[in-house]
A and B are shown apart, each in its own frame.
Chain A
Amino acid sequence: DVKVTQSSRYLVKRTGEKVFLECVQDMDHENMFWYRQDPGLGLRLIYFSYDVKMKEKGDIPEGYSVSREKKERFSLILESASTNQTSMYLCATGAASFYGYTFGSGTRLTVV
């Protein structure tokens, strides 16, 4: 089975801090995605990557950046955390030819 690992389950950060959320997959999947999940809004796509060093903006990229230096690792960066970025963050992967994702367990981030 594909395993997708997110480095932290729970994270508390202060306003203005730079925050790194890490996601690592153990399969050779080309595509990786970062979503945030908020009650009543479902999952919204922040950024995705279809290859090393390649990235594309999703629906809500403002306030975020990403890095993909290796195929198995996709990092989400909050340059200056704000309270409205308090959310559940979910990483997902998928092969280019595969219809669907495998998700990590999520990181619940609280910005105070």
Chain B
Amino acid sequence: AQSVAQPEDQVNVAEGNPLTVKCTYSVSGNPYLFWYVQYPNRGLQFLLKYITGDNLVKGSYGFEAEFNKSQTSFHLKKPSALVSDSALYFCAVRDGDSWGKLQFGAGTQVVVTP
């Protein structure tokens, strides 16, 4: 069965510093991986996805993620964090069946301080 782990409940970073949110996964077959962001009292917004191809995926709002097959990781990164990046971030992996179900991690709260 597919699973996703986000080892950090919270990441604290100063504005302007690099931001990394960690994600590891376990799948059978080829992984389809996603990052979503959630602002307070809102639904989830899509940031980026890895399906195949280049290991470095670029997404919305200046975020990127690096797929590492040997380490089964898909860490989210941003070179210079903004206070407005403070939110809850979810990593997800697509289920292997044909219905496209996503399995989500527990989420990582990012706090960016001025």
Interface size class of A (residues with CB under 8 A): 20 to 34
The B interface is mostly helix, strand or loop, or mixed, namely loop
Is the Cβ of A99 less than 8 Å from the Cβ of B41?
no
Is the Cβ of B34 less than 8 Å from the Cβ of A100?
yes
A96 neighbours in B (Cβ, 8 Å): 98-100
User: Known: A40-B9, A42-B105, A42-B107. Is A106-B42 also a contact (CB below 8 A)?
Assistant: yes
- A100 CB contact (under 8 Å) in B41, B42, B46: B46
Shortest CB distance B34–A (Å): 6
Is the Cβ of A99 less than 8 Å from the Cβ of B32?
yes
User: Known: A40-B9, A40-B106, A100-B34. Is A45-B101 also a contact (CB below 8 A)?
Assistant: yes
Is the Cβ of B102 less than 8 Å from the Cβ of A101?
yes
Shortest CB distance B110–A (Å): 15
Does A105 sit at the interface, judged by CB under 8 A?
yes
Q: With the chains together, A42 CA to B36 CA distance in Å?
A: 12
Is the Cβ of B99 less than 8 Å from the Cβ of A31?
yes
Is the Cβ of B100 less than 8 Å from the Cβ of A31?
yes
- The 8 A CB mask of B78-114 against A (1 = contact, 0 = none) is 0000000000001000100011111011110000000
B94 neighbours in A (Cβ, 8 Å): 99
Does B44 sit at the interface, judged by CB under 8 A?
yes
Does B72 sit at the interface, judged by CB under 8 A?
no
Q: With the chains together, A92 CA to B9 CA distance in Å?
A: 24
B36 neighbours in A (Cβ, 8 Å): 103
- A99 CB contact (under 8 Å) in B45, B51, B98, B107: B51
Q: Which residues of A contact B (CB under 8 A)?
A: 4, 6, 9, 31, 33, 35, 40-43, 45, 48, 50, 56, 58, 90, 92, 94, 96, 98-106, 108
Q: A35-B104, A94-B100, A101-B102 are known contacts; what are 9 more A-B pairs with Cβ within 8 Å?
A: A31-B99, A42-B104, A48-B99, A48-B101, A92-B44, A98-B100, A99-B32, A101-B44, A101-B46
Closest 8 CB pairs of A and B: A103-B43, A43-B104, A42-B106, A103-B44, A42-B104, A105-B43, A106-B43, A104-B43
